[in-house]
């Protein structure tokens, strides 16, 4: 799409007004997923497998159904038949199988049946009366064990075309890419380091558990309220799983209490609708925290082998990596993305990467902020750090020397457009943090990180009111303050105050299709569509002014919220403000709205560099992050405060992943820590202030230069913290999280 | 199971409800009284999203039974603003962008208000430890801590 | 004619070739032409691919123009969180 309308001087963009939903959120009246009720509403609850892998021999629901409070019970038989296909081609089947088990329970926590009853307590009581006969099967929860020839087979035929025939059926997708000759490259190196790394599965950890309220009639028409990152994908998926037409299900997105990728699919929504169809009453389902941990998307865990060669001057001569990712009992672990992101910050003549997507008896992985990239960065940036140490080179200088720039052939194939990696590295080098002295026992780490970003299907509608105020309808749930950014971009084009624009997340019946709020796409794609929709409205406003003045349309231009003659020859007319045009729009041609629908392609990749200081307690193995600086290219920060918020939030989640968070499975194949007490996310007293530097290297694919910022911020922290801890502890940390017992063991092994 | 009649005071208003003796105070506030500002993030007292005050003491309402509210005074997020006058914390949270998704915000505001009532001049460390029972997954806490510190400074000046 | 570079995992499906020259004016025509030249690529393309045209990543649009002489890379379909 032509971007002839790019703009670099701004009146509203780059300011920091209060967010439009602020008042609702500080007074408790914002309505999240679980905050909606309906007359005659029932409460649903889901029975889950206690086994990691088991054949479901028989389900007897008769005792539950006999209870007066119970109005419906559903099992897999109450959902539509969906064809099975290998790999991600069968994603609808995969989602259905995850939402409600078929022949087998595939992980501890897998849904097997559900009830709707007159109260939440009655529903929970009824679950205890459902009898399920299981035949337990061998299981596997570790990625490397799942690839071995003797591993239990989770599902035959799930592998797609990319997997060689001699691999275990649990290996379902394989990616291989790169260029040059790595062996020749390693031969040129003065030092080659080869090492292996592991990261454990972590949960997105949104504070709001999944919640929904659904109603579906025998006529196939329904309504659904739910917390989701994308209600059109919910609409499409639920319709497919229930065998109804998409347009007959209207989905409204509630305020969303965090998602981070984990709310980009469905879990309970089709179940509530199936129960509602059977009971002919609205059904609300709210997950417990334990259900969130056991049955919704953790990220993949990873096992990785990295080899990098470097000359004494810091030039990297070759790099290769193998990335094995475990994504639960379904295809989807981002082995491909991990491989493609791994070496992206570097200009490499010789690079080779292989990624595997492997199934285990764990919950179906879901996207988590730049899926795959943080793990890859951890492994690669650890090896680069080790090379710098051994060759006594400055880690920022080495990264600058090898940095990808505009025109560099990326490790994943094409050449980079204008990118801002070097700018983040230069800013890191110049930052006082990098020169600050360290105290004894502290270590400093740095890392770069990369993410692709995404565009996706986008529709925006903008309706003008007679008084000149504007209603802006977007379809991407606001997960981090995006309504403020949208209003700023619309204000910029229309030339009217930010406060005169009300932004609403429209439901699926009120706006065209929108892809999910993922891939850091909202400010980029919904922002681009908002700008275009506002320009569409400006064009129509200008037409009205031209008609009023009796001059040609192209003799009118739009300036500071007014139509004005484009030059002295166009005529002598006073500026006509927007509100004067809209006041009489009913009599001058009818209501004025602006629209835009497209799949913007030009998201623009993004880079960051993080600096971390960490302190390791040698007696307990506990690590404290004492100073943290995020430097990231935002292209153009529309609302800088919320850009900082994304930087800080990504860093904090990365700190949790690096230091504490992990899914712990027992010998019995069950999740051992399905609660916030044992799955410990960072709390306020764990963290320092998180400094931010916003670098702005405009993205050529957006009229204002925006690059998505939501995901890249979680790419460098794992590696940066591991490098800091390794420096502080004097031992290379190869396994995340660096929890106190693991760090203590590493310290003891070092001293032994 | 037969229901229990409870008489209590919520945000200064005398209130009655019927509840199952197994229901938590959080369930009663949300489902019986339609006060959905307090949120359930965990149900086990780990996340603080359900923070309220019970006779002035900060509690997780998911760890209190509804029947325990009998004769007590409960304060929720819905009672933090006085009419159209926001509490300074509420104002400062908006001003500092101390929220992203906002699910933890009601609990954090109730907890922070309880802190400032007992300790009007807290250090950053005190704020961080006081709020350690309130999980936020979006912000990294930076802007939350700044908003609380700034509010404390403003409220001290106003005295 | 645009030259389409394949990621190495795909080369086994295209007689071992690193790149394939095809006649195409849009991304959709390009993918169709690839499958005509190497039918084994059908499954990979159905599973989802993105392309980069002179460095600009096209996640999914089939109608994007492919200028004469441009450098095109096939990429694994991008997904986000």
B57 and B119 both lie in a single domain? no
Q: What is the pLDDT of residue A317?
A: 98
Using alpha carbons only, give the angle A368, A321, A623 rounded to the nearest 5 degrees: 55
CB contact under 8 A, B141 and A18: no
Regarding whether B120 and B73 lie in a shared domain, the answer is no
A38 pLDDT exceeds 50? yes
Angle, CA of B1, B3 and B8, to the nearest 5°: 150
| Per-residue confidence (pLDDT) for residue A2, from 0 to 100 | 38
| Claim to verify: residue A433 and residue A478 sit in the same structural domain | no
The chains found to touch C (3+ Cβ pairs under 8 angstroms) are A
Reduced to 3 states (helix: H, G, I; strand: E, B; else coil), residue B159 is: coil
Distance of CA A576 to the CA centre of its chain: 44
What confidence score (pLDDT) does residue A5 get? 67
Mean pLDDT of all residues belonging to chain C: 91
Sheet strands (E) in A333-485: 351-358, 442-451, 458-464, 470-474
Specify whether A74 is located in the same domain as A48: yes
Are the CB atoms for B61 and B24 separated by under 8 Å?
yes
Q: Tell me which of A576, A598, A620 is where a domain ends.
A: A598
pLDDT given for residue A1 in this prediction = 36
Q: Flag whether residue A258 sits within 8 Å of chain B, measured between CB atoms.
A: yes
Pair (A486, A582) in one structural domain: yes
Q: Sign of torsion, CA B112 B117 B121 B125? A: negative
Q: Report chain C residues whose CB lies below 8 A from the CB of A352.
A: 8
The CA-atom distances, in angstroms, between A293 and each of A274, A288, A363, A630 are 23, 9, 9, 29
Whether residue B99 sits in one domain with residue B71: no
pLDDT above 60: residue A4 = no
Residue A255 is part of which domain span?
33-138+204-295
The three state secondary structure string of B9-50 is EECCEEEEEEECCCCEHHHHHHHHCCCCCCCCCCCCCCCCCC
Cα distances (Å, whole numbers) of residue A207 to A210, A561, B41, B64: 10, 41, 5, 20
Q: Which domains does chain C have, with CATH numbers?
A: 3-76 (3.10.20.30)
Position A267 pLDDT exceeds 60: yes
Contact A208 B93 (CB under 8 A): no
For position B98, which CATH number holds?
1.10.150.120
Chain C CB contacts of A89 below 8 Å: 43, 46-47
Exposure on the CB side of residue A114, measured as CA atoms within 13 A: 35
What values do phi and psi take at A533, rounded to 5? -65, -40
Radius of gyration (Cα) for chain C, nearest Å? 11
Residue A84 maps to which CATH number? 3.90.1170.50
Q: If you average pLDDT over every residue of chain B, what do you get?
A: 97
- CATH code of residue A483: 3.30.365.10
A716 and A634 inside one domain: yes
Query: How distant is the Cα of A89 from the closest Cα of chain C, in angstroms?
Result: 6
Phi-psi region of A340 (alpha: psi -120 to 50; beta: other; left: phi over 0): alpha
Q: Are residues B22 and B69 both part of a single domain?
A: yes
SS percent in chain C: helix, strand, coil, step 5: 30, 25, 45
- Predicted confidence band at B109 (pLDDT cuts at 50, 70, 90)? very high
- Please give, rounded to a whole number of angstroms, the shortest distance from the CA of C60 to a CA of chain A: 8
- Does one domain contain both A500 and A435? no
Contact: A414, C52; criterion CB under 8 Å: yes
- Give the integer Cα–Cα distance in Å for A653 and A682: 8
Whether B137 sits inside 8 A of A21 (CB atoms) is: no
Give Cα separations from C35 to A334, C6, C28, C43, C44 (angstroms). Answer: 25, 13, 11, 9, 10
B122 and B98 together in one domain: yes
Question: Is A79 in contact with A241 (CB distance < 8 Å)?
Answer: yes
Q: Mind telling me how many Å the CA of B136 is from chain A's nearest CA?
A: 7
- Average pLDDT (A672-684) is 98
What is the average per-residue pLDDT within A127-154? 98
Examine the domain organization and report whether A497 and A428 are in the same domain. Answer: no
Phi, psi of A303 (to 5 degrees): -130, 125
Judgement on whether residues A275 and A289 belong to the same structural domain of the protein:
yes
End-of-domain residue from the set B24, B46, B79: B79
Domain boundary among A598, A624, A656: A598
If asked whether residues B108 and B139 sit together in one domain, one would say yes
The pLDDT of C26-39, averaged and rounded, is: 95
Which residue of C64, C73, C78 is in closest CB contact with A452? C78
CA distance B8 to chain A (A): 20
Indicate if A249 and A291 belong to the same structural domain. yes
Domain count, chain A: 3
Kind and range of the H or E element at B73? strand B73-75
Give pLDDT, residue A318: 98
Is A257 an interface residue toward B (CB < 8 Å)?
A: yes
Assess if residue A670 is contained within a domain: yes
Average pLDDT, chain A: 97
Same domain, A615 and A730: yes
Nearest CA in chain C to A91: C47
The verdict on B92 and B131 lying in the same domain is yes
Give yes or no: residues A685 and A742 share one domain.
yes
Number of domains making up chain B: 2
The predicted-structure confidence for A572-612, as pLDDT tens digits, reads as follows 999 999 999 999 999 999 999 999 999 999 999 999 999 99
Contacts of C55 in chain A (CB under 8 A): 407, 414-417
Nearest alpha carbon to residue B23 among B60, B53, B59, B67: B67
- In a shared domain, residues A558 and A652: no
Q: What is the mean pLDDT of residues C17-23?
A: 93
Predicted complex ipTM? 0.98
Nearest to A70 by CA among A129, A132, A115: A115
Residue of chain C with shortest Cα separation from A365: C81
Q: CA-to-CA distance for A311 and A303, rounded, in angstroms?
A: 27
Q: Is residue A322 part of a domain?
A: no
Q: Which residues neighbour B47 within 8 Å (Cβ) at sequence distance 6 or greater? A: A207, A289, A676, B41, B104, B107, B134, B135
Last residue of a domain, one of B56, B79, B102: B79
**B66 lies in which domain range?**
4-79
Q: Give the chain B residue whose CA is nearest to the CA of A24.
A: B102
Counted residue by residue, chain B has a size of 159
Do B31 and B66 belong to one domain?
yes
Q: What is the DSSP string of A532-577?
A: HHHHHHHHHHHHHHHHHHTS-GGGEEEETTEEEESSGGG-----EE
Alpha carbons A613 and A615: distance in angstroms, whole number = 7
> Which residue in A22, A25, A28 has the most chain B C-beta atoms within 10 A of its own C-beta, making it the best mutation to test that interface?
A28
**pLDDT given for residue A257 in this prediction:** 98
CATH code: domain of residue B19: 3.10.20.30
Which of A257, A276, A295 is the C-terminal boundary of a domain?
A295
| Rounded Cα gap, residues A315 and A402, in angstroms | 6
* Cα B151 from chain centroid (whole Å): 17
Strand-pair partners of A444 = A613
CB contact (8 A) between residue A18 and residue B95: yes
Residue A220: the pLDDT is 94
Q: Specify the 3-state DSSP secondary structure of A735.
A: strand
Probe site for chain C from A91, A165, A177, A180 (most C CB atoms < 10 A):
A177
Ranges of beta strands (E only) in A339-431 are: 351-358
User: Do B102 and B60 have their domain in common?
Assistant: no
CA A633, distance to chain mean position in Å, is 18
Q: A317 near A396, Cβ under 8 Å?
A: no
Domain membership flag for residue A70: yes
Same structural domain, A679 and A558: no
Torsional sign, CA C42, C43, C47, C51: negative
A7 — pLDDT class (breaks 50, 70, 90):
confident
Q: Is residue A81 within 8 Å of residue A96, measured between CB atoms?
A: no
**CA distance readout (Å), C1 to A31, B148, C20, C22:** 55, 62, 10, 6
Please identify, among B79, B113, B135, the residue that sits at the C-terminal boundary of a domain.
Answer: B79
Note which residues in 19-58 of chain C have CB less than 8 A from chain A: 43-44, 46-48, 52, 54-58
Under the banding of pLDDT at 50, 70 and 90, the label for residue B1 is: low
Please name the member of A174, A366, A454 whose beta carbon is closest to the beta carbon of C9: A174
């Amino acid at each position: 799409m032509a971007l002839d309308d790019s703009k670099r001087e701004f009146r509203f963009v780059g300011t920091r007004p209060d967010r439009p939903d602020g008042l609702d959120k500080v007074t408790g009246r914002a309505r999240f997923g679980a905050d909606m009720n309906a007359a005659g509403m029932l409460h649903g609850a889901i029975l889950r497998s206690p086994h990691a892998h088991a054949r479901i021999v028989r389900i007897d629901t008769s005792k539950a159904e006999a209870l007066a409070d119970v109005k419906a019970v559903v099992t897999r038989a109450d959902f539509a038949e969906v064809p099975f296909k290998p790999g991600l081609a069968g994603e609808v089947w995969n989602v259905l199988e995850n939402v409600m088990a078929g022949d087998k329970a595939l992980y501890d926590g897998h849904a097997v049946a559900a009830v709707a009853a007159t109260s939440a307590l009655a529903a929970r009581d009824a679950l205890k009366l459902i009898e399920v006969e299981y035949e337990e099967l061998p299981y596997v929860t570790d990625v490397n064990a799942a690839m071995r020839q003797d591993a239990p087979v989770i599902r035959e035929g799930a592998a797609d075309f990319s997997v060689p025939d001699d691999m275990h059926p649990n290996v379902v997708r394989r990616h291989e890419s790169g260029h040059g000759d790595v062996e020749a490259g390693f031969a040129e190196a003065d030092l080659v380091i080869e090492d292996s790394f592991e990261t454990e599965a972590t949960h997105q950890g949104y504070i709001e558990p999944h919640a929904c309220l659904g109603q579906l009639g025998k006529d196939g028409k329904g309504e659904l309220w739910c917390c989701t990152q994308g209600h059109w994908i919910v609409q499409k998926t639920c319709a497919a799983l229930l065998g109804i037409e998409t347009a007959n299900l209207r989905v409204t997105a509630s305020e969303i209490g965090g998602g981070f990728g984990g709310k980009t699919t469905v879990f309970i929504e089709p179940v509530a609708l199936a129960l509602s169809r059977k009971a002919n009453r609205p059904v609300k389902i709210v997950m417990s925290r334990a259900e969130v941990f056991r049955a919704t998307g953790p990220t993949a865990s990873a096992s990785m082998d990295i080899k990098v060669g470097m000359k004494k001057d810091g030039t990297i001569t070759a790099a290769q990596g193998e990335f094995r990712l475990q994504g639960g009992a379904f295809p989807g672990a981002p082995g491909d993305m991990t491989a493609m992101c791994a070496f992206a910050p570097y200009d490499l003549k010789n690079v080779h990467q292989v990624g595997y997507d492997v199934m285990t008896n764990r919950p179906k992985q879901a996207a988590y902020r730049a899926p795959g990239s943080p793990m890859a960065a951890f492994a690669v940036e650890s090896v680069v750090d080790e090379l710098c140490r051994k060759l006594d080179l400055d880690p920022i200088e080495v990264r600058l020397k090898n940095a990808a720039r505009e025109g560099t052939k990326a490790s994943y194939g094409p050449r980079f457009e204008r990118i801002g990696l070097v700018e983040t590295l230069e800013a890191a080098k110049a930052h006082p943090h990098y020169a600050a002295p360290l105290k004894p026992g502290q270590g400093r780490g740095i890392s770069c990180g990369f993410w692709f970003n995404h565009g996706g299907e986008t529709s925006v509608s903008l309706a003008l009111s007679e008084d000149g105020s504007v209603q802006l309808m977007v379809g991407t749930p606001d997960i981090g303050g995006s309504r403020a950014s949208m209003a700023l971009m619309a204000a910029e084009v229309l030339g009217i105050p930010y406060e005169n624009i009300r932004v609403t997340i429209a439901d699926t019946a009120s706006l065209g299709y929108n892809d999910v709020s993922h891939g850091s796409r909202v400010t980029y794609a919904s922002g681009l569509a908002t700008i275009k929709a506002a320009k569409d409205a400006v064009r129509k406003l200008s037409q009205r002014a031209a008609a009023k003045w009796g001059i040609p349309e192209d003799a009118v231009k739009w300036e500071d919220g007014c139509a004005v003659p484009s030059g002295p020859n166009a005529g002598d007319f006073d500026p006509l403000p927007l509100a004067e045009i809209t006041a009489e729009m009913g009599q001058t041609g009818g209501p004025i709205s602006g629209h835009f629908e497209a799949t913007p392609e030009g998201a623009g990749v993004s880079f960051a560099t993080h600096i971390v200081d960490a302190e390791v307690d040698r007696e307990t193995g506990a690590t404290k992050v004492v100073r943290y600086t995020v430097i990231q290219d935002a292209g153009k920060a529309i609302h800088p405060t919320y850009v900082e918020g994304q930087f800080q939030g990504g860093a904090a989640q990365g700190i949790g992943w690096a230091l504490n968070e992990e899914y712990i499975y027992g010998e019995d194949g069950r999740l051992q820590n399905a609660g916030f007490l044992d799955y410990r996310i960072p709390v306020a007293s764990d963290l320092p202030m998180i400094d931010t530097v916003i670098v702005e290297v405009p993205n050529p694919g957006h009229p204002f230069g925006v690059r998505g910022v939501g995901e890249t911020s979680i790419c460098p922290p794992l590696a940066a913290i591991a490098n800091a801890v390794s420096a502080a502890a004097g031992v290379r940390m190869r396994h995340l999280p660096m929890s106190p017992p693991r760090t203590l063991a590493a310290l003891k092994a070092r001293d032994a | 199971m037969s229901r229990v009649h409870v008489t209590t005071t919520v945000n200064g208003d005398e209130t009655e409800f019927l509840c199952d003796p197994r229901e938590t105070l959080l369930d009663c506030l949300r489902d019986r009284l339609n006060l959905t500002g307090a949120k359930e993030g965990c149900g086990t007292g780990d996340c603080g999203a359900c923070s309220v005050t019970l006779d002035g003491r900060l509690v997780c309402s998911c760890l209190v039974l509804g029947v325990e509210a009998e004769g007590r005074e409960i304060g929720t997020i819905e009672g933090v603003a006085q009419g159209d006058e926001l509490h300074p914390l509420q104002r400062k949270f908006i001003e500092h962008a101390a929220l992203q998704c906002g699910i933890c915000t009601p609990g954090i505001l109730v907890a922070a208000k309880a802190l400032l009532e007992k300790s009007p001049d807290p250090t950053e460390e005190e704020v961080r430890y006081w709020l350690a029972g309130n999980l936020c997954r979006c912000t990294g806490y930076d802007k939350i801590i700044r908003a609380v510190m700034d509010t404390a400074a403003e409220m001290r000046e106003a005295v | 004619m645009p030259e389409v570079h394949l990621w190495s995992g795909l080369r086994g499906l295209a007689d071992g070739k690193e790149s394939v020259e095809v006649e195409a004016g849009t991304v959709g025509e390009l993918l169709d032409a690839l499958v005509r030249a190497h039918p084994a690529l059908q499954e990979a393309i159905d599973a989802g691919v993105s392309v980069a045209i002179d460095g600009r990543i096209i996640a999914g649009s089939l109608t994007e123009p492919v200028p004469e002489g441009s450098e095109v890379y096939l990429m694994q379909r991008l997904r986000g969180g």
